[in-house]
Amino acid sequence: MAANTAAKRASIESGSTLASLCSLTRFITNSPEILTISKTLTPAKVSALCSLLGSPGEISHLTLQEELPACTGAALGSAISASAGAVRTLTLGNKDAFMHNPELELLRMLAAISANPAATLEHLTIINIDLMCNRRMCDSLWKFTTLRSLTVQESSSSYFRFSIPLFAASIVKLQLLDSLNLQGIVCYSSDDTETLVAALKALPRLDDLGMRRDDLRAEAGRPIGGLVALSRILKLDLRHNMLCNEGVSAMVEATLRYKHCSMLQVLKLSDNNMDSSGGLKLMELIARSPDLRTLDLSRNLVGKALHQLSAAVGRSLRKLGLNKCNLGPEGIESIMDVLCAFPALSVLRINENGVWDQGARGAAAILDALATASTLPMETIQLADCEIEDDGASAVGRLIARRACKDVDLERNKITVTGAKAIANSIAVSKCVIHKMNLTDNPLKEE
């Protein structure tokens, strides 16, 4: 068991010797393996890694979190591409640190992989590496014809120097691509957005699109709406942008120009500076998305628009996110309507809605509605920072007992030892198994 565990995720630290790297071969089996290089590599270790990739068995997931030594990129790329098609997932970079000058060796490595027609790389992730402005990178990218998913993520304080035209010209060649996630990639103009969307429309299998923190503005709404209407997009993640009411409305209008229903199953629009005006318009798109399973409108002030939610959402809804939405009494009533209409709802996130109708009573009403709506298991309920007191905690206990909740978040409320004991008693009586219970920052000290 220990050997199998080690084989699932082998990590090479900075103190590793060449011998310890080579010793990893004894863990390689015929099952897919994950190899993570988390610290600085020397030329000798790169050579050992090339030998390891050529040894019997398979490494299907390879992660390189640090820069490559000089003159090693081409050799490593050749080893990856020649590994009998074993390496299908390649991750470059580290979310905790930016690679300042990695281009040359990584480009040589990617060029060597793409030059081998037998390479079968399917998943490529690039994190915190300034590569996509480079024409050589884009020239290599379009040759990865087997690529099914591509993620480009920038999570440091500065944005990539990302060339949308170069990237669009390359990605249009990836006809097997079904998942694209761009995070922190700024579309500087409406022309950039139009260029990118035009390329995405040419990808027949694309069904998962993420554009988080890409500084999308109102003018991006119309082309994105057209993409949703004319493609087979099932999952759309536009969190943490600046679409505002105007952009959301333009997206909805562009989608509704076509009579057929949207294929959306997942729609995430949290933190887009939208209020109830944009929320009401969005309900028109939701009403035309009968297969919608996940809806996240968190961090938008859409509380007054939620009265139309139960009528708009289809019967397939399973996950609902309304964190920090300024719910108020009307929003609470709307959520209770949704709970009654959709008993199969298994995830509800309504954190940071503290200005509720007399706090605990509003929370207790929602919790009791959840408890009585169905006996189906409740996967997640998040009520952090919602002014819940001991009465609300007792309602949490009743919910847990009836719906077998697995993940309960009650952080930053007003629950005392009395309320915590009520929850504990309900768990003990029902004998349900809680995977996670968060009561951080509640006044739990006994007097």
Mean pLDDT of 253-280: 92
Structure confidence by residue, pLDDT tens digits, 305-358:
888 888 888 778 899 999 999 877 677 777 777 777 777 788 999 898 864 544
Length of the chain: 447
Sketch the domain layout of the chain as residue ranges.
Answer: 1-129, 216-311, 318-447
Q: What is the pLDDT of residues 194-212, one digit of tens each?
A: 999 999 999 999 999 999 9
pLDDT at 18 over 50: no
CA 438, CA 190: separation in Å to the nearest integer? 43
User: 289 — alpha (psi -120 to 50), left (phi > 0) or beta?
Assistant: beta
Region 65-84: mean pLDDT is 83
292 within 8 A of 316, measured Cβ to Cβ = yes
- The pLDDT, as a whole number, for residue 131 is 57
- The reply to whether 216-311 and 318-447 are identical in fold is yes
Mean pLDDT rounded to a whole number for the chain: 81
Q: Which residue has the higher pLDDT, 57 or 164?
A: 164
Q: CA-to-CA distance for 154 and 159, rounded, in angstroms?
A: 7
pTM of the model: 0.87
Please report the pLDDT score of residue 134 as a whole number.
58
CA-CA distance, 141 to 123, in Å (whole number)?
12
**In CATH, 318-447 is 3.20.20.100:** no
Q: Which CATH superfamily is domain 216-311 in?
A: Ribonuclease Inhibitor (3.80.10.10)
pLDDT of residue 119: 75
Q: Quick one: average pLDDT of 239-261?
A: 92
- Which residues are within 8 A (CB) of 163 and not within 5 positions of it... i.e. 6 or more apart? 132, 133, 138
Closest residue by Cα to residue 418 from 442, 385, 387: 442
- Is pLDDT at 360 greater than 70 in this prediction? no
